[in-house]
């Protein structure tokens, strides 16, 4: 059962729930990764040689908030909206950016959560009740960690020809670093903490953030993930109309619904335990989308990106002499992880611009926020089926 854990206040991280995120989804496992090598598709390589070392992260301390104000039966607002988004995010039903303003992606996440638990799609009572129980304090105080010196470069160039010469595609500001770390955006942080403070942020400063399990960029080492007997059997449905990726067990539960045009339509209330997770996505441009069923072939952290202008414009590769190798990092155009499909050059990956998910189209791949994309190896592995429809 998901529940808040108050005794963790002074641990290195304060998750919203009383157990780690890995324990919240069936059959998640921590598995050995294969060494890096040359990838088929749009990217290759990574950042090998980064040793895994203990992290001394500053504590995240929850802030007590005022009484609940939103009606249970409606879409919440204010702190109630924030706790709902946090609850959905930590349950692996991504609501998009955590911003206290539940929109289309929060609604889709609620529908997915309701589907799993057997509630009508438009029911708000059950999910709001669960969120209030699991997330009593949606705000927290976080300290900017010293590792920002390794991951922030305000002088990062914008031209790809110059980006190809840097060692790492870092964040351009500490504000951006902290926004992605806590699954929100710079606008929300500036609203809560003040624009001036965010513009002048430095290591060891304290700011208010969503009380969510952070995304630790410094834990990524460039590993390649191996197949897994259970996770490789799962099935991903990428809906390019809804802008959502849904992950199912190997055999999704069949649901009985009325045929279109039927006289009576009874809402489905049977729990669909086959649905594991759902995340907001941005699909490629219609002319480049590769509809069909593909196999997940590669999963690699901190990928390089092969910049090929001809490929971006036409969908056809040019010669190696006309390409550039963009180094790894959170500002890499494919984000912090590449999940390549059996269709060369097409994959599911992260993005340096999570605020564009569901709005701006990519060239041909499936983009997710970095904090969502990095969860995929806990949910699926090479060999999984990816259906793009």
Q: What is the CA radius of gyration of the chain?
A: 21
**Which pair of tokens denotes residue 173?**
């500001």
Domain count, the chain: 3
Q: Which residues contact 22 (CB under 8 A, 6 or more apart)?
A: 28, 30, 378
Domain that holds residue 203: 139-219
CA-CA distance, 336 to 169, in Å (whole number)?
Answer: 10
Q: Write the Ramachandran bin of 180: left for phi over 0, alpha for psi from -120 to 50, otherwise beta.
A: alpha
Residue 206 in any domain: the answer is: yes
φ, ψ of residue 244 in degrees (nearest 5): -145, 140
Amino acid 344: pLDDT: 84
Whether residues 254 and 356 share a domain: the answer is yes
Last residue of a domain, one of 94, 115, 134: 134
Whether residues 159 and 117 share a domain: the answer is no
Residue 293 in any domain: the answer is: yes
Whether residues 210 and 314 share a domain: the answer is no
Whether residues 329 and 359 share a domain: the answer is yes
Count Cα neighbours of 89 within 13 Å in the Cβ-side half-sphere.
30
Q: What is the DSSP string of 223-276?
A: -EEPP-TTGGG-EEEEETTTTEEEEE-SSPPP---PPTT-S--PPP-S--TTEE
Residue 1 in any domain: the answer is: no
CA-CA distance, 40 to 284, in Å (whole number)?
Answer: 19
Strand (E) or helix (H) holding 127: helix 125-134
- Burial of 259 per CB tally in 10 Å (0-12, 13-18, 19+): exposed
Whether residues 304 and 247 share a domain: the answer is yes
Residues 356-367: pLDDT tens digits? 897 655 566 899
CA-CA distance, 286 to 361, in Å (whole number)?
Answer: 9
Q: Which residues contact 385 (CB under 8 A, 6 or more apart)?
A: 234, 235, 236, 293, 294, 295, 296
Whether residues 238 and 354 share a domain: the answer is yes
Residue 362 in any domain: the answer is: yes
Whether residues 156 and 301 share a domain: the answer is no
Residue 14 in any domain: the answer is: no
Amino acid 59: pLDDT: 63
Last residue of a domain, one of 134, 153, 185: 134
Amino acid 362: pLDDT: 58
Amino acid 286: pLDDT: 80
What is the domain-level CATH number for residue 238? 2.40.440.10
CA-CA distance, 345 to 39, in Å (whole number)?
Answer: 10
What is the domain-level CATH number for residue 92? 1.10.101
389 residues of the chain, pLDDT tens digit each = 333 333 333 333 333 333 333 333 333 333 333 322 223 334 444 443 333 333 445 667 888 776 667 899 999 999 999 999 999 999 999 999 999 999 999 999 999 999 999 999 999 999 999 999 999 999 999 999 999 999 999 999 999 889 999 999 999 999 999 999 999 999 999 999 999 999 999 999 999 999 999 999 999 999 999 999 999 999 999 999 999 999 999 865 555 545 555 555 455 467 888 999 999 999 977 877 889 999 999 999 999 987 665 555 555 565 565 678 899 999 999 999 999 999 987 899 999 999 989 765 556 689 999 999 999 999 999 999 999 99
Last residue of a domain, one of 84, 99, 134: 134
Amino acid 107: pLDDT: 98
Residue 145 in any domain: the answer is: yes
Residue 8 in any domain: the answer is: no
Q: Write the Ramachandran bin of 112: left for phi over 0, alpha for psi from -120 to 50, otherwise beta.
A: alpha
> Rounded to the nearest 5 degrees, what angle is found at the Cα of 133, between the Cα atoms of 127 and 139?
100
CA-CA distance, 169 to 307, in Å (whole number)?
Answer: 14
The beta-carbon contacts of 93-96 under 8 Å, at least 24 apart in sequence, are 93/277, 93/278, 94/277, 94/278, 94/279, 94/280, 94/368, 94/369, 94/372, 95/280, 96/280, 96/354, 96/357, 96/358, 96/369
Whether residues 130 and 143 share a domain: the answer is no
Whether residues 120 and 192 share a domain: the answer is no
Q: What is the pTM of this model?
A: 0.80
Whether residues 284 and 225 share a domain: the answer is yes
Whether residues 371 and 242 share a domain: the answer is yes
First and final CA of the chain: distance in angstroms?
Answer: 34
Whether residues 232 and 357 share a domain: the answer is yes
Residue 59 in any domain: the answer is: no
Residues 145-170: pLDDT tens digits? 999 999 999 999 999 889 999 999 99
If you ran DSSP here, which 8-state letter would residue 58 be given? P
- Residues 107-139 as b/e (b if ≥16 CB within 10 A, e otherwise) read ebbbbbbbbbbebeeebbebbbebbbebbbbbb
The count of other CB atoms within 10 Å of the CB of residue 67 is: 5
């Amino acid at each position: 059962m998901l529940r808040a854990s108050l005794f963790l206040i002074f641990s290195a991280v304060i998750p919203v729930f009383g157990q780690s995120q890995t324990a919240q989804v069936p059959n998640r496992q921590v598995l050995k990764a294969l060494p890096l090598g040359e990838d088929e598709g749009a990217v290759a390589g990574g950042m090998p040689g980064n040793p895994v070392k203990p992290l001394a992260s500053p504590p995240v301390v929850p802030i007590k908030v005022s009484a609940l104000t939103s009606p249970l039966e409606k879409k919440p607002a204010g702190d109630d909206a924030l706790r709902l988004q946090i609850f959905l995010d930590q349950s692996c039903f991504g609501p998009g950016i955590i911003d206290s303003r539940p929109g289309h992606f929060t609604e889709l996440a609620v529908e997915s959560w309701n589907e799993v638990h057997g509630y009508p799609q438009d029911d708000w009572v059950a999910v709001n009740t669960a969120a209030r129980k699991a997330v009593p304090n949606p705000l927290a105080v976080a300290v900017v960690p010293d590792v920002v010196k390794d991951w922030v470069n305000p002088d990062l160039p914008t031209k790809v020809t110059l980006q190809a010469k840097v060692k790492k595609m870092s964040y351009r500001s500490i504000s951006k670093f902290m926004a992605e770390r806590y699954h929100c955006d710079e606008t929300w942080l500036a609203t809560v903490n003040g624009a001036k403070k965010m513009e002048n942020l430095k290591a060891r400063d304290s700011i208010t953030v969503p009380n969510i399990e952070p995304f630790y960029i410094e834990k990524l080492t460039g590993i390649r993930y191996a197949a897994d007997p259970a996770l490789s059997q799962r099935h991903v449905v990428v809906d390019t109309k809804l802008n959502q990726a849904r992950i199912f067990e190997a055999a999704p539960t069949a649901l009985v619904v009325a045929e279109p045009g039927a006289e009576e339509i009874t809402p489905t209330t049977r729990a669909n335990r086959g649905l594991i997770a759902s995340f907001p996505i941005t699909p490629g441009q219609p002319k480049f989308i590769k509809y069909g069923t593909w196999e997940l072939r590669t999963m690699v952290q901190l990928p390089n990106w092969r910049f090929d202008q001809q490929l971006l414009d036409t969908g056809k590769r040019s010669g190696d002499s006309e390409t550039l190798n963009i180094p790894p990092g959170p500002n890499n155009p494919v984000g912090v992880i590449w999940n390549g499909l059996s269709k060369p050059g097409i994959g599911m990956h992260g993005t340096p611009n999570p605020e564009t998910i569901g709005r701006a189209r990519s060239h041909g791949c499936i983009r997710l926020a970095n904090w969502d994309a990095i969860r995929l190896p806990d949910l699926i592995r090479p060999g999984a089926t990816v259906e793009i429809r």
